[in-house]
């Protein structure tokens, strides 16, 4: 049994060569698509501005030109936020799935999003006039609270399979915290307010928020890339990783820190965009194989790309109203995901 | 081996007795509490003696069907979760993974969206319209998941889970889009439904749900031996001479039927389907012929307790039972997680 398992695991590591080429293609040319998408995103909106204006506003900024101000204060922060959120969620989802070896694992399973939502609900219920800026910090604190609970429970329970326990503790905490938030929402009649945040989106991001978020995302991605080789080994199984002399506890802690930074930052500006963190890692794995030192950077690019395209679509579908971007990412991504799931089967 | 089986059997019958007694105690506690507390002597006289102040109607038309329904739904969702965790070989699975909940929620939200909320608790026609829509949505999405996951005549567990994730995401997205366009009143109603609540009760629902469960629960327990071998590798299962695909389809159908009929009258109560099987396995072990009946009893107990608590905890309003389950069940589940190796 154990032997069969190992040979299966070894087989999975040896991916077909075309997948590696595809990974290098994504890493090499993904940037071009992202730049094109950002340009498109800046140009699109309630009032369309021409590309020349976009160009001028970036390099020859004129504070008296209203189009330039719109681009600097609204469109550019929004596009950058979409990139950060997409990349952050996708990378933290990849790390989660690699560490827990469970296809149902997503960043939200670490209790991060639900913790955030929980403190947000309390803030809305008891301090109705709270400023947007303090909400960012509340949401970050909530993300930390949720992750700390999950981590504490996993650490307290000795023995057994750590990855399964982590996943189960995560879903228990998530369920508990979201239930409490829904109860608060229903009791204080704020569920509709909460739901806008719950649906997620980057439409109201301001440049002042970005200066807290960008460093957190960059730090998280760097940690994730640094441990990516260890995650590949861990994804073969905890016993195998330990047998190969890996310090699994250290990898878990580093992974959790990365997930917390990435998800906490993403959730604090964009609310709950669940789909990206769950599905982009799968799509990336289908495309580039099972080596996490390729999956993690590629998922960052694909996540950023999906979210910015979805955000453009969210602006246009029901203009001038915004459609929840989480819903749009799902509608764009699901058909592709289903196709790949069918073609590639279930391996993780 | 035989000795072990005998101890297992003794443990099983003891646990069954304890859980049944607990259920009866909960039953009596639940029937006397509510917005209006009715002491036991009055309950007795309402049914068998003189009915003071029309209490028989409160008891017989509102409380009793609700209590029975809570027990039935609890058992159904729990067993459905147990089956799915074994088939998908995933400890995180609950009835939601085959799209039952997302499909039912979408269907209900779609219906509320087009008929402007007149549907909830109003009129004779709407009594069966809502459950019908929920049931149709649940079954359609489960069939869709099955068909999309099927490839070369086989439904690999991994592919089933992945397809479930994808379709869940799609349905949830569509549900969110529709919900955003609703006015706050309809929105709260659908949110309550999605969170899971035994939102309307009458004896007709009880009878219909009972009819489903009477067929499907014994069938699931009868098939327990196939669930026992589902965790083996596929070539091993086939090597044992088991028609794997056929049995898997039967078991999946059972799980979908159980979850579908329960979701139709109870809304999204998926967390119960996650924890009840874990609790049962934690105290009884992995043999499904023992753990499945216990799962049913545990589910019934938890849901009845949660529904009673949800009715009385905040006097002015009712908490959706799905939320109460999470608040009560999650801490216990976490305790189990910490204690067992």
Q: Output phi, psi for B200, to 5 deg.
A: -150, 140
Contacts for A291 with CB less than 8 Å, ≥ 6 apart = A13, A15, A20, A232
Burial class (CB in 10 A: 0-12, 13-18, 19+), B242: middle
* Contact call for residues B81 and B272 (beta carbons, < 8 A): yes
Query: Does the beta-carbon distance from B162 to A346 stay under 8 Å?
Result: yes
Both tokens assigned to B289: 């012929």
Band of residue B156 on the pLDDT scale cut at 50, 70, 90: confident
Query: Does the beta-carbon distance from A160 to B338 stay under 8 Å?
Result: no
A133-163 per-position pLDDT tens digit? 777 778 778 888 988 898 888 888 766 666 6
Helices A274-288 and B157-180 cross at an angle (nearest 10°) of 140
pLDDT at A346: 47
pTM for this prediction: 0.77
Residues of chain A neighbouring B149 (CB-CB closer than 8 A) = 341-342
Q: How far is A339 from chain B (nearest CA, A)?
A: 9
Which of the given ranges, A10-19, B63-72, B280-289, has the highest pLDDT on average? B63-72
Q: Closest Cα partner for B266 from B304, B294, B218?
A: B304
Question: Is residue B123 pLDDT above 80, yes or no?
Answer: no
Query: Does the beta-carbon distance from A104 to B157 stay under 8 Å?
Result: no
B67 vs B5, residue with greater confidence: B67
Q: What does the alpha-carbon distance between residue A83 and residue A77 come to, in Å, rounded to a whole number?
A: 10
Query: Does the beta-carbon distance from B163 to A195 stay under 8 Å?
Result: no
**Confidence check on the interface: ipTM exceeds 0.95, yes or no:** no
pLDDT at B277: 92
Q: Closest Cα partner for B166 from B138, B141, B194?
A: B141
Question: Is residue A75 pLDDT above 70, yes or no?
Answer: yes
- Looking at A311-315, B45-49, B107-111, which range is the least confident one? B45-49
Question: Is residue B76 pLDDT above 80, yes or no?
Answer: yes
Query: Does the beta-carbon distance from B339 to A157 stay under 8 Å?
Result: yes
pLDDT at B304: 92
Residue of A93, A102, A103 to mutate when probing chain B, most B C-beta within 10 A? A103
Domains recognised in chain A with CATH numbers: 18-344 (1.10.3470.10)
Q: How far is B328 from chain A (nearest CA, A)?
A: 8
Burial class (CB in 10 A: 0-12, 13-18, 19+), B2: exposed
Question: Is residue B121 pLDDT above 60, yes or no?
Answer: no
% of chain A residues with pLDDT over 90:
9
Query: Does the beta-carbon distance from B170 to A330 stay under 8 Å?
Result: yes
* Minimum-distance CB partner of A171 among B148, B161, B274: B274
pLDDT at A1: 35
- Residues making up chain B, counted from first to last: 341
Q: What does the alpha-carbon distance between residue B239 and residue A181 come to, in Å, rounded to a whole number?
A: 49
Q: How far apart are the first and last CA of chain A?
A: 19
A115 vs B114, residue with greater confidence: A115
Average pLDDT, chain A: 80
pLDDT at A15: 60
pLDDT at A299: 93
B31-57 per-position pLDDT tens digit? 888 767 777 777 777 777 776 667 777
Fold adopted by B79-339: ABC transporter involved in vitamin B12 uptake, BtuC (1.10.3470)
A172 vs A201, residue with greater confidence: A172
Query: Does the beta-carbon distance from A104 to B165 stay under 8 Å?
Result: yes
Query: Does the beta-carbon distance from B191 to A330 stay under 8 Å?
Result: no
A319 vs A258, residue with greater confidence: A258
Alpha helices in B33-95 (DSSP H): 40-48, 55-57, 64-88
Q: Closest Cα partner for A190 from B304, B184, B230?
A: B184
What is the sign of the dihedral through the CA atoms of A185, B325, B67 and B123? positive
Band of residue A319 on the pLDDT scale cut at 50, 70, 90: low
What is the sign of the dihedral through the CA atoms of B310, B312, B315 and B317? positive
What DSSP character marks residue B153?
Answer: T
Which of the given ranges, A86-95, A196-205, B41-50, has the highest pLDDT on average? A86-95
B324 vs A315, residue with greater confidence: B324
Average of pLDDT values for B21-25? 94
Question: Is residue A209 pLDDT above 70, yes or no?
Answer: yes
Q: How far is B174 from chain A (nearest CA, A)?
A: 7
Average of pLDDT values for B248-265? 89
B190-221 per-position pLDDT tens digit? 777 777 777 667 788 888 889 899 999 999 99
Q: Closest Cα partner for A197 from A325, A45, A330, A107?
A: A325
- Residues making up chain A, counted from first to last: 348
Band of residue B181 on the pLDDT scale cut at 50, 70, 90: confident
pLDDT at B125: 58
pLDDT at B124: 57
**Domain coordinates of chain B in residue numbers?**
79-339
Residues of chain B neighbouring A330 (CB-CB closer than 8 A) = 169-170, 172-173
Nearest-Å Rg of the Cα atoms of chain B is 21
Alpha helices in chain A (DSSP H): 2-13, 17-43, 51-59, 66-70, 76-100, 112-126, 132-156, 162-187, 191-199, 207-226, 228-234, 238-243, 248-270, 274-288, 292-317, 325-344
* Contact call for residues B301 and B26 (beta carbons, < 8 A): yes
* Minimum-distance CB partner of A278 among B165, B167, B191: B165
Question: Is residue B72 pLDDT above 60, yes or no?
Answer: yes
Q: What does the alpha-carbon distance between residue B70 and residue B302 come to, in Å, rounded to a whole number?
A: 9
Could you tell me which chain B residue has the CA closest to the CA of A164?
A: B91
CA of A348: how far to CAs of A100, A103, A186, A280, in Å? 10, 7, 39, 13
Nearest-Å Rg of the Cα atoms of chain A is 20
Q: What does the alpha-carbon distance between residue B67 and residue B208 come to, in Å, rounded to a whole number?
A: 15
B190 vs B124, residue with greater confidence: B190
pLDDT at B254: 92
Residues of chain B neighbouring A324 (CB-CB closer than 8 A) = 173, 176-177, 180
% of chain B residues with pLDDT over 90:
19
% of chain A residues with pLDDT over 70:
86
Answer whether the bond into residue A320 is a cis peptide, omega within 30°: yes
Band of residue A110 on the pLDDT scale cut at 50, 70, 90: confident
């Amino acid at each position: 049994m154990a032997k069969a398992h190992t040979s299966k695991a070894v087989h999975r590591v040896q991916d077909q060569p075309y997948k590696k080429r595809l990974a290098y293609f994504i890493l090499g040319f993904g940037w071009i698509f992202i730049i094109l998408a950002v340009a498109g995103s800046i140009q699109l909106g309630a009032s369309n501005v021409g590309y020349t204006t976009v160009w001028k506003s970036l390099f020859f900024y004129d504070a008296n030109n209203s189009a330039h101000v719109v681009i600097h204060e609204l469109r550019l922060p929004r596009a950058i936020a979409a990139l950060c959120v997409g990349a952050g969620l996708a990378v933290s989802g990849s790390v989660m799935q690699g560490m827990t070896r469970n296809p149902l694992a997503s960043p939200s399973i670490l209790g991060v999003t639900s913790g955030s939502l929980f403190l947000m609900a309390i803030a809305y219920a008891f301090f109705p006039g709270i400023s947007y800026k303090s909400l960012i910090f509340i949401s970050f604190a909530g993300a930390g609270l949720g992750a700390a609970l999950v981590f504490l429970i996993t650490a307290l329970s000795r023995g057994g399979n750590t990855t399964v326990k982590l996943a189960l503790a995560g879903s228990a905490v998530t369920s508990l915290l979201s239930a409490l938030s829904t109860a608060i929402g229903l009791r204080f009649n704020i569920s509709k307010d909460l739901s806008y945040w719950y649906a997620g989106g980057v439409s109201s991001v301001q440049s002042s928020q970005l200066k807290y978020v960008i460093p957190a995302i960059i730090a998280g991605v760097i940690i994730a890339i640094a441990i990516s080789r260890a995650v590949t080994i861990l994804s073969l199984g905890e016993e195998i990783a330990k047998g190969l002399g890996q310090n699994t506890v250290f990898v878990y802690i580093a992974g959790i820190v990365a997930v917390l930074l990435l998800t906490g930052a993403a959730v604090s500006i964009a609310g709950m965009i669940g789909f990206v963190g769950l599905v982009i890692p799968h799509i990336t794995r289908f495309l580039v194989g099972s080596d996490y030192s390729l999956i993690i950077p590629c998922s960052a690019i694909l996540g950023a790309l999906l979210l910015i395209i979805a955000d453009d679509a969210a602006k246009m579908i029901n203009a001038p109203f915004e459609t929840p971007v989480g819903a749009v990412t799902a509608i764009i991504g699901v058909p592709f995901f289903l196709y790949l799931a069918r073609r590639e089967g279930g391996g993780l | 081996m035989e000795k072990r089986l005998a101890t297992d059997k003794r443990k099983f019958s003891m646990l069954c007795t304890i859980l049944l007694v607990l259920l009866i105690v909960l039953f009596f506690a639940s029937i006397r509490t509510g917005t209006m507390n009715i002491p036991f002597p009055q309950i007795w006289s309402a049914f068998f003696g003189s009915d003071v102040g029309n209490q028989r109607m409160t008891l017989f038309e509102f409380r009793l069907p609700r209590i029975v329904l809570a027990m039935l739904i609890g058992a159904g969702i729990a067993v459905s979760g147990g089956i799915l965790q074994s088939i998908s070989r995933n400890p995180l699975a609950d009835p939601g993974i085959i799209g039952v909940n997302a499909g039912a929620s979408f269907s209900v939200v779609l219906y509320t969206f087009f008929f402007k909320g007149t549907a909830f608790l109003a009129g004779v026609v709407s009594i069966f319209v809502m459950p019908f829509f929920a049931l149709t949505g649940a079954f359609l999405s489960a069939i869709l998941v099955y068909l999309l996951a099927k490839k070369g005549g086989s439904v690999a567990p991994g592919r089933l889970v992945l397809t479930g994730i994808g379709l869940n995401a799609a349905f949830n997205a569509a549900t969110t889009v529709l919900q955003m366009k609703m006015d706050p009143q309809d929105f709260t109603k659908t949110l309550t439904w999605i969170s899971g609540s035994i939102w309307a009760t009458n004896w007709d629902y009880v009878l219909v749900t009972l009819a489903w469960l009477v067929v499907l629960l014994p069938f699931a327990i009868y098939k327990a031996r196939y669930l026992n071998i589902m965790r083996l590798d596929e070539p091993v299962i086939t090597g044992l001479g088991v028609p794997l695909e056929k049995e898997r389809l039967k078991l999946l159908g059972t799980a979908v039927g159980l979850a579908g009929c329960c979701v139709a009258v109870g809304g999204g109560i998926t967390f119960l389907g996650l924890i009840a099987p874990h609790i049962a396995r934690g105290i009884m072990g992995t043999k499904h012929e023992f753990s499945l009946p216990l799962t049913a009893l545990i589910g019934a107990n938890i849901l009845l307790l949660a529904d009673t608590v949800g009715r009385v905890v905040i006097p002015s309003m009712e908490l959706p039972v799905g939320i109460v389950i999470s608040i009560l069940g999650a801490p216990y589940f976490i305790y189990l997680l910490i204690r067992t190796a």
